[in-house]
Chains A and B, each alone.
Chain A
């Protein structure tokens, strides 16, 4: 991957990649692996990007695919993750409420995780639907259900 491509096309969107990878990993090592693999896949798939959507949407799509694939692979290997909310070290994750939210998000199904992350990043339902491959109505219903689920998981933990 050229440094130019990384600096100009990936780095400005690194936040998106970091936020998504954080939701699918429990250790710093895995987090960095997922991040690197996502960057690599974005670079490799750059020629497939047809500018029908925004570049950031493309990054969401590729990063989510990488996270879903890698987390499925690690599940197949009976990989047992150690629950450790402070295991991914990044100054962005020093916020206690955020870590609790991430812990709750990690308890969701893989697809629900993707949907809520896209929602939290203020993507419109139509765009989330296009990324996930379902209808906007379905996304609206699922977001409500996921938020309810998260509220239950976080109940009493956050003031």
Chain B
């Protein structure tokens, strides 16, 4: 090699001013696509994770000779999966032809509405379902794992009282679990989405 690297460099860039400068465009389109893709994947992973759990509950119920309770639990989890799928279908209503900022803002609004609906489900519906398991156990007490805790004299009202107390505890635990899981799964993604929206807004105002 005869030429030094400095010489190659200087000769090549002798007319630096004529260099083609890439255009600044489309950066946020790509950033937006990437973050939306990640959020969608997380939602799908989160929701589809319910299916194996439903299977485990069904098999566990059968193995523990709690077929009715097991199948009922499975049905509840599948209902939850259906409910989540319906919630996530809200994202399909977004207008993909809208501009980047509008799309991201609408996407964030749907994310917030999904989070609110899920929160309500965790705090109110899930405890009610737990209560319904107690009521079911009362009616199938001979075949239920709860039978040892339910004497012949126990009335339905007492069962509802016990089930209601458990449901209240479940509601509190669910609220905490919801906050933690939402923060773990979606916290960073939501904050990135907010950053992109803020950046685009600030770019438009500067």
- Taken together as a complex, chains A and B put the C-alpha atoms of A33 and B28 apart, in Å, by 10
Cβ-based interface call for B3 (8 A): yes
- Taken together as a complex, chains A and B put the C-alpha atoms of A36 and B13 apart, in Å, by 21
B2 and A159 form a contact (CB under 8 A): yes
Enumerate chain A residues within 8 angstroms of B22, measured Cβ to Cβ: 18, 31-32, 35-36
Cβ-based interface call for B203 (8 A): yes
Enumerate chain A residues within 8 angstroms of B18, measured Cβ to Cβ: 91-92
Enumerate chain A residues within 8 angstroms of B1, measured Cβ to Cβ: 151, 154-159
Nearest A residue to B14 by beta-carbon distance? A95
Question: In the complex, how many angstroms separate the beta carbon of A85 from the nearest chain B beta carbon?
Answer: 14
Question: In the complex, how many angstroms separate the beta carbon of B163 from the nearest chain A beta carbon?
Answer: 49
Question: In the complex, how many angstroms separate the beta carbon of A99 from the nearest chain B beta carbon?
Answer: 9
Cβ-based interface call for A55 (8 A): no
Query: Which residues of chain A in 38-71 are interfacial with respect to chain B, using CB atoms and an 8 Å cutoff?
Result: 39-40, 44
Query: Which residues of chain A in 80-127 are interfacial with respect to chain B, using CB atoms and an 8 Å cutoff?
Result: 90-92, 95, 97-98, 101, 116, 120
Q: Given A1-B203, A33-B30, A101–B24 Cβ distance below 8 Å?
A: no
- Taken together as a complex, chains A and B put the C-alpha atoms of A18 and B23 apart, in Å, by 12
Enumerate chain A residues within 8 angstroms of B206, measured Cβ to Cβ: 1-2, 5
Q: Given A36-B24, A37-B27, A158–B19 Cβ distance below 8 Å?
A: no
- Taken together as a complex, chains A and B put the C-alpha atoms of A98 and B15 apart, in Å, by 14
- Checking B19, B27, B203 against A90 with a beta-carbon cut-off of 8 angstroms, the contacting residue is B19
Q: Spot the interface stretch: B4-12, B98-106, B141-149, B167-175.
A: B4-12
B21 and A14 form a contact (CB under 8 A): yes
Q: Is the interface of A mostly helix, strand, loop or mixed?
A: helix
Question: In the complex, how many angstroms separate the beta carbon of B153 from the nearest chain A beta carbon?
Answer: 64
Cβ-based interface call for B20 (8 A): yes
Enumerate chain A residues within 8 angstroms of B152, measured Cβ to Cβ: none
Question: In the complex, how many angstroms separate the beta carbon of A39 from the nearest chain B beta carbon?
Answer: 6
Enumerate chain B residues within 8 angstroms of A19, measured Cβ to Cβ: 13
Question: In the complex, how many angstroms separate the beta carbon of A30 from the nearest chain B beta carbon?
Answer: 11
- Checking A98, A150, A159 against B12 with a beta-carbon cut-off of 8 angstroms, the contacting residue is A98
Task: Encode A1-25 as 1/0 by CB contact (under 8 A) with B.
Answer: 1100110000100110011000000
Q: Given A14-B19, A91-B20, A92-B19, A150–B27 Cβ distance below 8 Å?
A: no
- Checking B5, B6, B24 against A1 with a beta-carbon cut-off of 8 angstroms, the contacting residue is B24
B19 and A98 form a contact (CB under 8 A): no
- Taken together as a complex, chains A and B put the C-alpha atoms of A44 and B6 apart, in Å, by 33
Query: Which residues of chain B in 168-202 are interfacial with respect to chain A, using CB atoms and an 8 Å cutoff?
Result: 199
Enumerate chain B residues within 8 angstroms of A15, measured Cβ to Cβ: 13, 16-17, 19
- List 10 contacting pairs A-B, 8 Å CB cutoff, sorted by A: A11-B21, A15-B19, A36-B27, A40-B27, A92-B20, A95-B8, A98-B8, A147-B5, A150-B5, A157-B1
Interface positions of B (Cβ within 8 A of A): 1-3, 5-6, 8-9, 11-13, 16-27, 30, 199, 203, 206
